[in-house]
Amino acid sequence: MNKRRKQLLRELGLSPIWHLKSDTSEQNEISASSLTEIKGSILPPADVTKDTQDSQPIHLMNWDQLKSAVSGCMSCPLSQTRTHTVFGVGDENANWLFVGEGPGAREDAIGEPFVGQAGKLLDQMLAAIRLKRGDQVYITNIVKCRPPNNRNPSSGEARQCEPYLTRQIELINPKLIVALGKVAAQNLLGSEDSISNLRGKIHHYSGIPLIVTYHPAYLLRALPEKAKAWKDLCFAQSTMQSLR
Ligand code: URA
């Protein structure tokens, strides 16, 4: 196995655990073909597919490379049922990053996040704190392909997509992340805590302050909770002001 492949597998946590215990010979190390076979069942993260001569590992990609990798991604079963990948939209140097769960039907049809009813409410929530999509604001999701019937993405699907979101966050380098709803909050924070426990605190994602609020689609069904979301947005705004 060449040095670069060894290093990549080690970084992905796939090496040396997939070596046979009793034999460390070259024959028992993972070959490119066995990785492809394993991919269908164990679903290693999306990065594994990028270990070729002509493509970059995701964590080194620039915006264009990342967009192109996402649009061609076949790393999980959601790729089989999507119409469009939904990469994200907005100011690539934004101070504010809003992260939702995953595309719904309208987003899948158009290829842009939060363009349905929940998106309209999100735009109103942004306007309430004098923000608008595209202006110091970037919006994306935990998964870039629509989970069928708008179910929650599985943890495996979220894990597959994670390297793309991680790289987006590195490239944007926002001052503050707002997690919209339980799926976004739990995946970004690696927590299983309820949204009511996660709200009202400053968490951190790779050193970036992160605040949790309700998902706009939930607020459409639970109107009385809008007051709490308003409180969260004010908290996010004052947190941002304290960071300047
Ligand atoms: N819900 C989400 O979480 N994301 C979208 O893009 C649309 C609806």
| Same domain as 14, residue 127 | no
Looking at the fold, whether 123 and 215 belong to one and the same domain comes out as yes
Structure confidence at residue 29 (pLDDT) = 32
How far is the C-alpha of 88 from the C-alpha of 86, rounded, in Å? 6
Q: Is residue 51 part of a domain?
A: no
148 and 72 share a domain? Answer: yes
Same domain, 21 and 112: no
Let me know whether 31 and 90 are in one domain: no
Claim to verify: residue 13 and residue 80 sit in the same structural domain: no
Residues 8 and 77 occupy one common structural domain:
no
Q: What is the pLDDT of residue 44?
A: 61
In a domain, 53, yes or no: no
Q: Ligand 1 centroid to 117 CA: how many Å?
A: 10
98 Cα–ligand 1 center, Å:
11
Q: 203, 209 in Cβ contact below 8 A? A: yes
CATH of the domain at 67: 3.40.470.10
Q: How confident is the model at residue 115 (pLDDT cuts 50, 70, 90)?
A: very high
* Distance (Å) of CA 87 to CA 5, 13, 41, 100, 169: 28, 26, 25, 12, 12
Residues 29 and 87 in one domain: no
Three-state SS sequence of 54-98: CCCCHHHCCHHHHHHHHHCCCCCCHHHHCCCCCCCEECCCCCEEE
Report whether the peptide linkage leading into residue 209 is cis, meaning its omega lies within 30 degrees of zero: no
pLDDT band at 20 (very low <50, low <70, confident <90, very high): very low
Query: Does 213 have pLDDT greater than 90?
Result: yes
Share of the chain above pLDDT 90, in %: 77
101 Cα nearest atom in ligand 1 = 3
The pLDDT tens digits of the residues spanning 23-76 come to: 333 333 333 333 333 333 335 666 644 544 457 999 999 999 999 999 999 999
Kindly state if the Cβ of 101 falls inside 6 Å of ligand 1. Answer: yes
pLDDT tens, residue by residue, 143-180: 999 999 999 999 999 999 999 999 999 999 999 999 99
pLDDT score, position 47 = 60
Mutate to test the pocket of ligand 1, among 87, 107, 187 (most ligand atoms within 8 A of CB): 107
Does the structure show a pLDDT above 70 at 114?
yes
Q: Please name the amino acid found at residue 139.
A: I
Q: Report the pLDDT value the prediction gives residue 15, as an integer from 0 to 100.
A: 41
Please tell me the total count of domains within the chain.
Answer: 2
207 domain-assigned: yes
* 19 is a domain residue: yes
Are 197 and 235 part of one and the same domain?
yes
Does 66 share its domain with 39? no
Tell me the pLDDT tens digit for each residue of 54-69. 579 999 999 999 999 9
pLDDT band per the 50, 70, 90 thresholds, residue 17: very low
* Cα angle 100-218-92, degrees, rounded to a multiple of 5: 20
Whether 214 is in the pocket of ligand 1, judged by its Cβ within 6 Å, is no
Tell me, yes or no, whether 11 lies in a domain: yes
Supply the pLDDT for residue 45. Answer: 67
Q: Write the pLDDT tens digit of every residue in 74-112.
A: 999 999 999 999 999 999 999 999 999 999 999 999 999
Do the domain assignments include residue 29? yes
Measured between alpha carbons, how far is 148 from 135 in angstroms, rounded to an integer? 31
- Ligand 1 contact via 113 beta carbon (within 6 Å): yes
Q: In which domain, by residue range, is 34 found?
A: 3-43
| Domain shared by 104 and 190, yes or no | yes
User: Using CA atoms, how far apart are residues 208 and 187, in angstroms rounded to an integer?
Assistant: 15
Residues 7 and 120 in one domain: no
Per residue in 123-141, pLDDT (tens digit) is 999 999 999 999 999 999 9
